[in-house]
C-alpha cells in the first residue's frame, strides 16, 4: 500500500494533512435520453453548468490555483476532449488549468475522480476537479458498439475477446441464467429502486446535490425553430407508481425468452457531475477546511469475463476492502450502480450485504445511467446521504462494459 493511504478503519477515520478531500460534489439532474429535459442539450453544455456551479460554491478559492480537471466520458465525439476543454474555459476556469477526459466505460466518472486523487497524493497537483459528462441522446447511436473494428478481432479465436462487444443486455441475461436470478426478483428490485428514488425526490433529498440547468427544448423535432427555454431542476426518469406487478407486464428487451426488460435495466440518460478535490493541508492553508465534506480513501479495479461483466462489483469490492483493511460491516452505505437488476441482485447476494444499505435513494434503474458521469453522480448522491444518516464510510462501485469492476472507499468528514 502506498504511504499516503491509511489501512484499517481506525487510521482511515483520522484526519491527516495528506488526506485527499472533497469540498463539493455536485451534479446536474439526470434526464431520459431522447425524451427528457436534456434531449436537446450537449454533454459539454451540462459540464459547463456543473463546473460553473462548482466554482460558484467556493467563492474564496482562486480558480487559478486549480491545477487539473479530469472528466469521464464514454461516447463523446473526439473523446470529449476539445469540447470539454472549451466548456471548462467557458465556465470560468482559467486557461492555465489543464484538462483531460477519461474513458473506462461505465466507471469513467469514478476513474476521473481517482485519477485526480492519485495526482494529488503523488504531489503532481494540489487542487483538481474530477467528474463526468454524457449525452446518450446525441451519442448512443451505435449502442456503444464499435462501428469500425479490425476483422481479426471480430472473428478472434479467443472467445473473451469477441465477447467484449457483446450486448450489455445479453450479459445481464447471462448473469440471471448462470446465477439463478429470477424475473420476479428483478422486477421487485427495480420497483424498489423507483420507490426509494421517488420518496427521496418528494422529500427534497436530492436538492443539495443538484445544480439546475437552463437549456433549450424543442417540443417538435420537425420544427427546430420553435425552441423553448426551460430550466431542469429534477431527475425526470423516476416513476413513482412503478410496482413489481406493472414491471412484470413488460416484454423482454434482449432475447425472446429473457428476463431483462427496459423496466428492470438502467435508463439511457443525459447528465454531468463534478467534485472539487485537494489535499487537506492545502484546504487548511487556504482557509477552506470548513468546506471539507469527505475524503477519498482508495480505489481498486479488477477484470472479469466480458460475457458476465455485471459481476464486477462482487469482485472489486472485496479487493477494495482487503486493500483498505476495512470490513463490510463497517460500511454504512453502498452505492452500487444498477446497470441491470440481475447483476445488482447477484452482487448484493454474493457480497452478503444488507440490501437496505444499498442505494438508499434509488439507483440507476430509477435515476438513470449517463455512462461517463455515473461514478461522479454516485459520489454526489452518497455524501449528503452519509451526512443525513450519520454514516462514516461508504463504497461506490459499478460493473464495467467489456468485463471489469471498480470500487472506491469514501469517508464522511
Clarify whether 399 is annotated catalytic: yes
Q: Catalytic one among 42, 44, 49, 369?
A: 369
SS3 at position 92 = coil
SS3 at position 236 = coil
Angle at 334 (CA atoms; ends 331, 337), nearest 5 degrees: 155
Q: Catalytic one among 106, 164, 304, 347?
A: 106
CA distance 107 to 397: 8
Cell numbers linked to 238: 423516476
Q: Taking the C-alpha atoms of 23, 337, 346 and 409 in order, what is their torsion angle to the nearest 10 degrees? A: -20
CA distance 231 to 310: 35
CA distance 370 to 30: 7
Q: Which residues are CB-contacts of 222 (< 8 A; sequence separation ≥ 6)? A: none
C-beta separation of 113 from 26 below 8 A? no
CA distance 64 to 49: 19
Measured over all CA atoms, what is the biggest interatomic distance in the chain, rounded to whole angstroms?
A: 61
- First vs last Cα of the chain: how many Å apart? 23
Q: Catalytic one among 164, 304, 347, 399?
A: 399
Cα within 13 Å of Cα(224), Cβ side:
2
Bridge-based pairing state of the strands 228-232 and 333-336: unpaired
C-beta separation of 77 from 83 below 8 A? yes
Clarify whether 164 is annotated catalytic: no
Cell numbers linked to 342: 440481475
C-beta separation of 131 from 25 below 8 A? no
Report DSSP state, residue 102: E
Catalytically annotated residues: 106, 369, 399
Amino acid at each position: 500500500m502506498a504511504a499516503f493511504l491509511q489501512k484499517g478503519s481506525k487510521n482511515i477515520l483520522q484526519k491527516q494533512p495528506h488526506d485527499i478531500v472533497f469540498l463539493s460534489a455536485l451534479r446536474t439532474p439526470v434526464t431520459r435520453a431522447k425524451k427528457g429535459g436534456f434531449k436537446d442539450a450537449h454533454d459539454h453544455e451540462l459540464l459547463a453548468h456543473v463546473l460553473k456551479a462548482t466554482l460558484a460554491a467556493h467563492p474564496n478559492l482562486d480558480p487559478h490555483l486549480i491545477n487539473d480537471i479530469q472528466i469521464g466520458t464514454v461516447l463523446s465525439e473526439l473523446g470529449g476532449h476539445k469540447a470539454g476543454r472549451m466548456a471548462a474555459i467557458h465556465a470560468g476556469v482559467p486557461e492555465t488549468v489543464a484538462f483531460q477526459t477519461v474513458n473506462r466505460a461505465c466507471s469513467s466518472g469514478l476513474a476521473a475522480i481517482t485519477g485526480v486523487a492519485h495526482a494529488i497524493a503523488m504531489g503532481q497537483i494540489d487542487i483538481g476537479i474530477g467528474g463526468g459528462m454524457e449525452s446518450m441522446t446525441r451519442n448512443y447511436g451505435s449502442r456503444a458498439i464499435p462501428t469500425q473494428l479490425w476483422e481479426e478481432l471480430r472473428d478472434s479465436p479467443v472467445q473473451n475477446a469477441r465477447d467484449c462487444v457483446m450486448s450489455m443486455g445479453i450479459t445481464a441475461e447471462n448473469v440471471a441464467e448462470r446465477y439463478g436470478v429470477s424475473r420476479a426478483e428483478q422486477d421487485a428490485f427495480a420497483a424498489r429502486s423507483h420507490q426509494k428514488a421517488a420518496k427521496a425526490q418528494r422529500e427534497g433529498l436530492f436538492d443539495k446535490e443538484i445544480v439546475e440547468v437552463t437549456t433549450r427544448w424543442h417540443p417538435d423535432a420537425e420544427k427546430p425553430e420553435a425552441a423553448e427555454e426551460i430550466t431542469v431542476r429534477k431527475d425526470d426518469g423516476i416513476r413513482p407508481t412503478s410496482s413489481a406487478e406493472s414491471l412484470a407486464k413488460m416484454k423482454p428487451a434482449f432475447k425472446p425468452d429473457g428476463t431483462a426488460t427496459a423496466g428492470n435495466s438502467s435508463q439511457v440518460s443525459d447528465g454531468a457531475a463534478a467534485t472539487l478535490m485537494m489535499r487537506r493541508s492545502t484546504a487548511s492553508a487556504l482557509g477552506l477546511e470548513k468546506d471539507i465534506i469527505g475524503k477519498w480513501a482508495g480505489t481498486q479495479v479488477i477484470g472479469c469475463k466480458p460475457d458476465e461483466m455485471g459481476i464486477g462489483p462482487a469482485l472489486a469490492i472485496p479487493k477494495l476492502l482487503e486493500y483498505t483493511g476495512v470490513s463490510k460491516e463497517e460500511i454504512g452505505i453502498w452505492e452500487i450502480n444498477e446497470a441491470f437488476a440481475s447483476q445488482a441482485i447477484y452482487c448484493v447476494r454474493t457480497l452478503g450485504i444488507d440490501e437496505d444499505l444499498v442505494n438508499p435513494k434509488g439507483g440507476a434503474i430509477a435515476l438513470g445511467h449517463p455512462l461517463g458521469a455515473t461514478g461522479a453522480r454516485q459520489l454526489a448522491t452518497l455524501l449528503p446521504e452519509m451526512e443525513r444518516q450519520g454514516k462514516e464510510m461508504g463504497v461506490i462501485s459499478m460493473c464495467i462494459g467489456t468485463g471489469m469492476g471498480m470500487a472506491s472507499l469514501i469517508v464522511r468528514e
